[in-house]
Amino acid sequence: MLMITFLQSFLLCLILPPQLAKSSTETTTSAGHSIPFPSYEHLNIKESIAAATNLRPAAASTTAQYTDQELNLKPTHHNISSFKLNLLHRDKLSFSWNNNHGRRFEARMKRDVQRVASLTSRLGGGGAAAYEVEDFGSDVVSGMEQGSGEYFVRIGVGSPARSQYMVIDSGSDIVWVQCQPCSQCYHQSDPVFDPADSASFSGVSCGSSVCDRVENSGCHAGRCKYEVSYGDGSYTKGTLALETLTIGRTMVQNVAIGCGHMNRGMFVGAAGLLGIGGGSMSLVGQLGGQTGGAFSYCLVSRGTGSSGSLEFGRSVLPVGAAWVPLLRNPRAPSFYYVGLSGLGVGGMRVPIAENTFQITALGDGGVVIDTGTAVTRLPTAAYVAFRDMFMTETANLPRAPGLSIFDTCYDLNGFVTVRVPTVSFFLSGGPILTLPARNFLIPVDERGTFCFAFAPSPSGLSIIGNIQQEGIQISFDGANGYVGFGPNIC
Lowest mean pLDDT among 8-12, 43-47, 419-423, 434-438: 8-12
pLDDT at 267 (0 to 100):
59
The pLDDT confidence band at residue 246, using thresholds 50, 70 and 90, is very high
Write the pLDDT tens digit of every residue in 116-164: 877 777 765 443 333 222 222 222 233 333 334 578 899 999 999 999 9
pLDDT exceeds 60 at position 29: no
Write the pLDDT tens digit of every residue in 105-126: 777 777 777 778 777 777 654 4
Lowest mean pLDDT among 63-67, 234-238, 267-271: 63-67
Q: What is the DSSP letter of 434?
A: E
Q: Is 445 considered catalytic here?
A: no
The pLDDT confidence band at residue 98, using thresholds 50, 70 and 90, is low
Write the pLDDT tens digit of every residue in 428-487: 988 999 998 999 999 999 899 999 999 999 889 999 999 999 989 999 999 999 999 988
Average pLDDT over residues 240-265: 90
The pLDDT confidence band at residue 4, using thresholds 50, 70 and 90, is very low
- Cα–Cα–Cα angle for 120, 126, 131, rounded to 5 degrees: 105
Average pLDDT over residues 183-189: 86
Write the pLDDT tens digit of every residue in 213-231: 887 778 988 999 977 665 5
Helix (H) or strand (E) holding 113: helix 101-123
Asked whether 253 and 158 are in contact (CB, 8 A), the reply is no
3-state secondary structure of 242: strand
Asked whether 171 and 370 are in contact (CB, 8 A), the reply is yes
Domains of the chain: 2-53+321-489 (2.40.70.10), 60-311 (2.40.70.10)
The share of the chain scoring above pLDDT 70, in percent, equals: 75
Asked whether 452 and 406 are in contact (CB, 8 A), the reply is yes
In angstroms, rounded to a whole number, what is the distance separating the alpha carbons of residues 357 and 14?
Answer: 21
Among 19, 33, 5, residue whose Cα is nearest residue 324? 33
Average pLDDT over residues 232-255: 86
Give 174's contacts (C-beta < 8 A, 6+ positions apart).
139, 140, 228, 258, 273, 275, 281, 282
Average pLDDT over residues 257-265: 86
> 54 or 47: which carries more pLDDT confidence?
47
pLDDT at 266 (0 to 100):
58
Q: Which of 139, 169, 173, 190 is catalytic?
A: 169
Among 291, 308, 287, residue whose Cα is nearest residue 299? 308
Average pLDDT over residues 241-254: 92
Tell how strand 151-157 and strand 83-89 pair up.
Answer: antiparallel
Q: Which of 190, 232, 364, 370 is catalytic?
A: 370
In angstroms, rounded to a whole number, what is the distance separating the alpha carbons of residues 432 and 344?
Answer: 9
What are the beta bridge partners of residue 241?
203, 257
Tell me what the pLDDT averaged over the chain comes to: 79
Write the pLDDT tens digit of every residue in 401-438: 999 999 999 999 999 999 999 999 999 988 999 998 99
Three-state SS string over 371-398 comes to CCCCCEEEEHHHHHHHHHHHHHHCCCCC
Asked whether 25 and 35 are in contact (CB, 8 A), the reply is no
Q: Is 173 considered catalytic here?
A: no
Q: Is the pTM of this model over 0.85?
A: no
Give 374's contacts (C-beta < 8 A, 6+ positions apart).
108, 109, 111, 112, 115, 147, 150, 465, 466, 467
